[in-house]
Each structure stands twice: as C-alpha cells, then as structure tokens.
Amino acid sequence: MRIKVECSYNGSAFHGWARQAGQRTVQGEIERALSTLLRSEVSVQVAGRTDAGVHARAQIFHADLPALEGRFSDLSYLVNRANSLLGKDVALKKAEEAPAGFDARFSALSRTYIYRISPFRSSRSLFLNGFVWDVNFEPDLNLLNSLAPAILGLKDFASFALPNPGGTTIREVKEARWDRAEGAIESGTLQFTIRADAFARKMVRFLVGAQICVAGGKKPASWFFDKFKAYRDFPPLAPAEGLTLEKVDYPEDGMLETRAQITRAVRKREEIGG
C-alpha cells in the first residue's frame, strides 16, 4: 500500500534531504526507521528536496509499504513507533493511506517557503537561532516589496537557480511578498513568502540574496530586474538556515494523476509569454 506522510525537521544537522552515502540526511533517517520497524527495505519519495541546513514545517513524502499487519495496520501507531527511532530534529506528524494516483512530488500543485531575516541579532529572540539570517542593517520593507512582484508568473529563473541535468529552470511563481513577522518569538524579523508550482535548486536563496543585495545598497533595483530578461551571473546566495518549507498543496483526489502527468512534462522557453 502507498501511504502519504507529513513530516517536519530542523535541517541544521542534516546534509540535506536526499539520501547520501556516509552523510546524515533526512531521507536516510526516515528510511532507516521505517525499514527497521517493518523489517523490509522502505524507500520514500518526497514533495521537494531541501538543501543542507534548510528546515521543513510540513514536508510531504510517500512510501510504498508491504501489507501492514497487527498493530502497524494502525498508521498512527506506525508514526509513533517511527518517531521513537528518529532523532529529536525530525518527526513524522501524521500518515494516511494515499488516494489513487497520488505522488508526493509530481501530484503537488505548489510548495510554499518562508525565508526569515533578522535585521539585528540583538533585537530578536534567541529561540530563532538557526532559523534566521542575521543581517547588520534594517532592510526597507517597501523597497523589498517593490522588487518582489518581478518574481511572479511563469519565468525562466536561470539567473537565480542551478539547473539539474536534463531539467529546466522555468517555474511559475504564484505568490511572492515580504512581511514583518508578528508574534512573541518572531517579532522584529522580516519574512519572504514565496509559493510556486516547483522550485529549481537554490532558487529561493538566490532570490533572497539578490533582493537583500539591493536593499543593502550594493546593487540598484535595475540590476535585479535585468536578471529576468537574460542570464546574468548568480547573485549572492542567502544562507540555508533562514529557509523553511512551510506547506505543500495538492489538488482534489480525482485530479492527482492528471496533475502528475502535467508536472512530468519538461517546460520549454516557448511557453513563456512576453
């Protein structure tokens, strides 16, 4: 049977999501726990791979498991037992039998990330250590929000992302905005929310690095806008620790297989209008 699982993790001590020989990774830890419990090799497929140091609040993966018997037929019991074998920096939150046609990666409609920035280390909560990028100036929120709309739409992010062999850097961004965070812990931090159908490698961190470069007076706004018109050298890369995968959205159950077929088609530059 195929199960759909939501998990969260603090990426600080992980060498990214993807399994790598000799490295501690999120995928490797989860597969080890499930394989130990079920006494059968388990492989998991994720909605979106995260880099070393990147966190996740609600990552989604699927796994094809052998027939579950006894107490393991109760997926909440499976989750609790798996968590007892995992470190304190990764946890399975809930699991359910996946609907027909579900694929954690290809069925997804969008992923939402938030990048958090602390203008001055002395002014923010120590509970955010490892979850924000400390900068030594106060970025102009209005300036940042004058840059963010350029990110929206179907675009080639070649100037802001590392391509995978045989892949593409064309993505559709559906939301991009800057806000000042509220709440006792996050008060005073700035956060960049971005939602897209998918993300190319290091795309969010390059976009954040470029915008903060402009906000810090190192580059004019025109430099940022021009990077969307043709390939330019990569901007500064924002540190991984400020980035968190917040949410993955999926269509209604009856559209899962159709969505997966659409996602598997590699986009071409001719699809970009204007």
- Helix-helix angle 75-85:26-38, to 10 degrees: 120
**Residue 31 CA: distances (Å) to CA of 35, 71, 260:** 6, 19, 24
Residue 197 bears catalytic tag? no
Q: What is the rounded distance in angstroms from the CA atom of residue 157 to the CA atom of residue 193?
A: 17
For residue 267, give the nearest of 194, 171, 201 by alpha carbon.
Answer: 171
Residues listed for the chain: 274
Distance from C-alpha of 192 to C-alpha of 87, rounded to nearest angstrom: 29
Among candidate residues 51, 134, 140, 179, the one labeled active-site is 51
Region of residue 39 (left: phi > 0; alpha: psi -120 to 50; beta: else): left
219 φ, ψ (degrees, to nearest 5) = -140, 150
**Which residues form the catalytic set?**
51
